[in-house]
Structure 1
Amino acid sequence: MATAAVRCLLTVAVVLAPLLAGADAGRPLSTGFYNKKCPNVQSIVRAAMAQAVTAEPRMGASILRMFFHDCFVNGCDASILLDDTASFTGEKNAGPNANSVRGYEVIDAIKTQVEVSCNATVSCADILALAARDAVNLLGGPTWTVYLGRRDALTASQSAANANLPGPGSSLATLITMFGNKGLSPRDMTALSGAHTVGQARCSTFRDRIYNDANINTTFASLRQQTCPQASGDATLAPIDAQTPEAFDNAYYRNLMSKQGLFHSDQELFNGGSQDALVKKYSGNAAMFAADFAKAMVKMGAISPLTGTQGEVRLNCRNAN
């Protein structure tokens, strides 16, 4: 885990109010949205996430990924949490999510606790935003101000999830375009990709890279091939960052500089292209990475939120009321 000195460097507060106007004009997200209605919501989420991450550090990475996969599909509206119904096929079984996104039970448990304290008040979308922030910080990464006031979607779309989430084989141009479509700059994209400093991935998501890519460290490729054969083992896991897989730090960028990115899309950030210089900076400056990551998370959390009278506050995150 990060040392105390690094933890201090990685603690940042971010204020990006101009970015946070909600979809319902005149009702922006705010830092004090629940101050009167549910003043202890943040402490409830933090305690539950601390318990989950202590039990399984990987869960921190899983909740962070869930938030990303939610926000990139029709905005940060907790649509990823909805089970399929007779009227729609949701996002859980979309290609990028099926047998991959995990941690739904953690969000369910937090929601149950919040409902006991503040019934029908706090949205699942806001719980997920808070949980993602706490997941990063509990793994040694930065903290940031989470703006609140999101409401929950009434429906979800599997086709939108398939269309809007970049895959592990994406090119740099594709990544820049897909993040740009969400209002995120190439710098935001490169900073947010640093989330891959924690977590694990299935063999099926990186097999093509370790057997077919040229821009890869051969020793690293051979190591990964030992547990990811060409014709089997799809579900076998490997750490995305082999150096410090349970610590949120800047080792991810050092991996890229030594051609040890696990995904093709990772290595695209350091492959003679426009992001090489930024990767070099992040690799040697943990505080810069932490600050940029926190800012980008606030921006991502403001993608097309439902606010005001839009959507609803779900009582159960898996189903509309």
Structure 2
Amino acid sequence: MLNCMAAGMAARGRIIAAAFISCALILPLLASAFEPSESGLRFPFPDFINSPSNNIEQGIQTNDPPKEEEPENQMSYKSPLKDKKPKIEQLREQNGVEDQPEAEPAENEDHGDESEAKPVEGNGEPEPVENAKGGLIEGFYEKDCPQAEQIVNEVLMKNLQKDATLAPAIVRLFSHDCLVKGCDASILLDETPSGEDVEKKAGPNGPFVRGFEVIDEAKERLEAECPGVVSCADIIAFANRDSLVNTGLPTYKVAAGRRDGLSSLAENVKNNLPVPDTPLQEMIDMFKRKGLTLEDLVVLVGAHSIGTAHCGVVKSRLFDKRKSMEMDQNYVEQMRFMCTRDDNMLPFDGVTQNKMDSQIYNEFLAKRALLESDHVLAKDPHGNDIMKKMAGDQAAWFAKFIGAIVKMGGIEVLTGNQGEIRRQCRAVN
């Protein structure tokens, strides 16, 4: 009996010993399968299982609070930065500023006539800046008539859809206004108190300058939107810019604040506006008096990349034996063939007639200039050098053209209390 009891006790002892040995071996393995956390131990399920949404789907719940920080290479249910936007975007949204496509820059390092727009803190919008030459300001109508430029653009685009030739006509209207008495819209007046002939009746203008109805329509809309605020001179400047851009020039900002002139005299046109047979030095002197250089002159005649001339204006040169001999003979014959009537229209640029590009300088250099004034510029050594540079680098010409047209837009402008804001563009108030 005792032997049996002893045998049983020995057997139980061996079982207990075996159990202790098993525990000793298994517990460390189990312990190594847990990770420490701030609240105790957590079983390291893969992250896609730890995700709250997947825990619900698979009936698994965890009691651990979410970690404040997780390594970047771990998947998480919601990234702390996922719904956040950069601070600048938040500020723009708070201020109601919408992102706009940025136009290609067209800077002219030499003209120095238009200061760079500086950002205003907090809203990302450009601050109106003063034009160094004319006392004009970018964003001049921002408070009193913020839709001014948009309205001018809408009127112009509507009319260009009907008649694309209005683009060069508006460009001509702008330059013929600015070169006479400055950019004061005097070219728009039908009459002045003196009763003398006005600028639009002068020989270089007359039937060759048009686009008045477009300006009238824009003025009428602006008077309905913000009466007595936007000048006719600024309307021409905005329409000129949009006409150039519509034909291929990069966009640019137009400083405004021009006031309208009170008089217009045809006699003022004579010594201020070149005509096709104006001698070279006279042209240079005319532009110099307006603060424009020879380079400005050469750059600006590149606007003849678009538009046409009446046959009657150039016919004498085409049929003059001596003058026509200086031209490309195939070109002469072609123009003569097209010039059967004085009112026929001949393109300045027979290659890309409706596009602002530097191709026009290749025509000038190849003796295919329709106007004698462009031809004499191409013959002049300095003018020729400038044309060669412009012909070979269209981007440089674009930049210089914008600089020169901005400079032209600041010629002898009336600002502040000078002149007036006309109620309608064809008559003084």
**Does 2:189 match 1:82?**
yes
Structure 1 unaligned regions, length at least 5: 1-7, 23-27
Give the equivalent residue in structure 2 for 1:304.
412
Give the equivalent residue in structure 2 for 1:60.
167
Please say which of residues 123-132 and 172-181 is displaced more in the overlay: 172-181
**Does 2:106 match 1:12?**
yes
Equivalent pair of 2:271/2:286 in contact (CA under 8 Å): no
Question: Counterpart of 2:177 in structure 1: which amino acid?
Answer: D
Q: Which of 135, 140, 145 matches 1:38?
A: 145
The 3-state SS of whatever aligns with 2:346 is strand
Equivalent pair of 2:192/2:263 in contact (CA under 8 Å): no
Partners of 2:328 and 2:105 lie apart in 1 by 33
Q: Which of 336, 339, 343 matches 1:225?
A: 336
Question: Counterpart of 2:400 in structure 1: which amino acid?
Answer: D
The 3-state SS of whatever aligns with 2:406 is helix
Deviation at 1:208, TM superposition (A): 2.4
Give the equivalent residue in structure 1 for 2:177.
70
**Does 2:396 match 1:288?**
yes
Question: Counterpart of 2:114 in structure 1: which amino acid?
Answer: L
The C-alpha deviation readout for 1:31-72, integer Å capped at 9, x for no partner, is: 021110011111111122222222222100000000000001
Question: Counterpart of 2:332 in structure 1: which amino acid?
Answer: A
The 3-state SS of whatever aligns with 1:190 is helix
Partners of 1:119 and 1:272 lie apart in 2 by 49
Question: Counterpart of 1:41 in structure 2: which amino acid?
Answer: A
Deviation at 1:178, TM superposition (A): 1.1
Q: Which of 232, 237, 242 matches 1:124?
A: 232
Q: How many residues align?
A: 306
Q: Structure 1's 240 and 118: CA in aligned 2 closer, same or farther, altered over 3 A?
A: same
Please say which of residues 47-56 and 247-256 is displaced more in the overlay: 47-56
Give the equivalent residue in structure 2 for 1:245.
353
The 3-state SS of whatever aligns with 2:261 is coil
Q: Structure 1's 19 and 184: CA in aligned 2 closer, same or farther, altered over 3 A?
A: farther
Q: Structure 1's 20 and 81: CA in aligned 2 closer, same or farther, altered over 3 A?
A: farther
Deviation at 1:270, TM superposition (A): 1.2
The 3-state SS of whatever aligns with 2:150 is helix
Deviation at 1:11, TM superposition (A): 5.3
The 3-state SS of whatever aligns with 1:60 is helix
**Does 2:241 match 1:147?**
no
Question: Counterpart of 1:58 in structure 2: which amino acid?
Answer: T
Alignment of 1:110-189 (within 5 A): 110-189=218-297
Give the equivalent residue in structure 1 for 2:382.
274
The 3-state SS of whatever aligns with 2:404 is helix
The 3-state SS of whatever aligns with 2:253 is coil
Give the equivalent residue in structure 2 for 1:5.
none
Deviation at 1:21, TM superposition (A): 4.1
Please say which of residues 138-147 and 183-192 is displaced more in the overlay: 138-147
Question: Counterpart of 1:69 in structure 2: which amino acid?
Answer: H
Give the alignment's TM-score, normalised by structure 2. 0.69
The 3-state SS of whatever aligns with 1:36 is coil
Give the equivalent residue in structure 2 for 1:25.
none
Larger Rg: 2
Question: Counterpart of 2:150 in structure 1: which amino acid?
Answer: S
Partners of 1:76 and 1:50 lie apart in 2 by 23
Give the equivalent residue in structure 2 for 1:102.
210
The C-alpha deviation readout for 1:241-290, integer Å capped at 9, x for no partner, is: 11111111111101011110000001112114221111011111110110
The alignment's C-alpha RMSD in Å is 1.7
Partners of 1:204 and 1:10 lie apart in 2 by 40
Structure 2 unaligned regions, length at least 5: 1-101, 116-129
Equivalent pair of 1:9/1:287 in contact (CA under 8 Å): no
The C-alpha deviation readout for 1:91-134, integer Å capped at 9, x for no partner, is: 11101001110110011111111111111100000000010000
Question: Counterpart of 2:358 in structure 1: which amino acid?
Answer: N
Misfit runs of 4+, over 4 Å:
8-11
The C-alpha deviation readout for 1:175-225, integer Å capped at 9, x for no partner, is: 211111110011110010011000111012111222221321111011111
The 3-state SS of whatever aligns with 1:125 is helix
Partners of 1:9 and 1:155 lie apart in 2 by 38
Higher relative contact order (CA 8 A, sep 6+): 1
Give the equivalent residue in structure 2 for 1:47.
154
Give the equivalent residue in structure 2 for 1:3.
none
The 3-state SS of whatever aligns with 2:271 is helix
Give the alignment's TM-score, normalised by structure 1. 0.91
Q: Structure 1's 85 and 308: CA in aligned 2 closer, same or farther, altered over 3 A?
A: closer
Question: Counterpart of 2:225 in structure 1: which amino acid?
Answer: S
Question: Counterpart of 1:175 in structure 2: which amino acid?
Answer: M
Equivalent pair of 1:210/1:225 in contact (CA under 8 Å): yes
